[in-house]
Each structure stands twice: as structure tokens, then as C-alpha cells.
Amino acid sequence: MSILVVTGTGTGVGKTVVTAALAALAAARGASVAVVKPAQTGVVGGEPADLADIARLAGVTDTHEYARYPDPLSPAAAARISGLPALSLHDAAADIRKLADSRRLVLVEGAGGLLVRFDEDGATLADLARELSAPVLVVADPALGTLNHTALTLESMALRGVELAGVVLGSWPAAPDEPDLAMRCNIRDLETLAARPLAGAVPAGAGALDAPEFLLAARAALSPALGGVFDPAAFRTRYAR
């Protein structure tokens, strides 16, 4: 069994698409995969949300959502505003462990960034990862400003004793677009911050692909350690400045 937590350097950096890519590659290898979204915000009732996107892209339907709030806020704030109970990350961890007992891989997608609050006591995704003894994959925006956000995320993980699984660029410009100078320069700096090569670069727009095309894109976008064939040295040679 294996548990991998996916977080981002902020909101909208591509966590869901990266989680779907991980799920698609694992499922294509024949592994049993469950995907957990502990708290979903900004949706109501039976509206499709992140797990529906993952199921569509990866073909994985073993999905689990523990709390849902209508306002697009942090889970703690959304629970407070709605009057609904906040999610217990301790209970979530217990359920995730049960899932991991009978699955080869459990993917846990966070909400927002690593230190977004889930309850009024300040529990965060970092706390959940530490309780699960699970490594965390960080999804970063490749654009200007990402270095500070990524450095803060990685330093917070180190201070809290959370293991880094790697850094993936969540929305790399797809052909015929070209990355700008800041994106090109950020490659080497991100690798320096992480003290390791990039673990992948997912093309912008991948979330709009159909499932077979998405699987091909996922394989090209993620490193062998994550089930793909992404070559960070070749990527660096092609793009880095």
C-alpha cells in the first residue's frame, strides 16, 4: 500500500489535473487506486467537482469526499460561514488508512496550499500528511512569482517533518505557445529549491483532453518515479535559461 498527498503552492495551480495524471498512470499499470478529496469548497449539493474531473480524466471511480461547503473559501472559513461542521483531519486520516489497507495507491488531494486551515484549531494538510506518514507532491505554477511560493511551501514542509515526493509544474505552456523568460529561468531555481530535478511538467489544457489522450499526456508529463517517462534533464536542456 502507498499513500501520496498532493498539494500546491496556491489555488489554481493544477493539483486536480496532476492528481488525475497520477491516478491514470497507476490504473493503467493495473494498480488499485483510490482518490480522496478531504474537503471540497465552492460547490453545492450534487454539483460535479474535483473528483468528477479526476474520474473523467483517469477513469478511476473509487473516489471519496468527506466534506463539502458551498463557499469558495478555505475549508475552515467555508465551514464557519455555512454553519456546517468542520472536517476532522484525524477522522479523515483513519479512513484513508483503511482505504490504503486494500488499495495499492491512495491519492489525497488537498484544498489550496499546504497550510490552508481545515478547522478553527488550525489543522492543515501538512498535519494530515504527517499523521499519515505520507510524502507530499508539490504542484507549482511555472510563472513569475512561483519561487517565493514554492520556497515557503518547501520550508514549511521541512519544519513540520513532512517528506517531499517532488515538485511538478502544473500548467506548462503547450504548443504552439512558448514559455516566457521567467518560466525558463524558474526551472533551475525550482530544482535548486527542491534539491532535486523536477518530477514533471503537465501541459496547459491537459484537463480538457479525453481519457485516452490524457493518459498519453500524463505519461509524458510525469517522471518514472511517478509512473511516467518525463526526463528532467532533457526538459532542462530544451527550456532552461
Helix (H, G, I), strand (E, B) or coil at 194: helix
For 69, residues 6+ apart whose C-beta sits below 8 A from its C-beta are 39, 40, 41, 42, 75, 78, 79, 81, 82, 84
**Catalytic residue flag (residue 15):** no
Mean pLDDT of 202-219: 97
63-109 per-position pLDDT tens digit: 999 999 999 999 999 999 999 999 999 999 999 999 999 999 999 99
User: Can you list the domains of the chain with their CATH numbers?
Assistant: 3-10+14-239 (3.40.50.300)
Give rounded-to-5 percent helix, strand, coil for the chain. Answer: 45, 20, 35
DSSP label of 85: P
pTM: 0.96
Q: Which of 15, 37, 68, 130 is catalytic?
A: 37
> And the C-alpha cell for 237?
536542456
Pair 209, 217: CB distance under 8 Å: yes
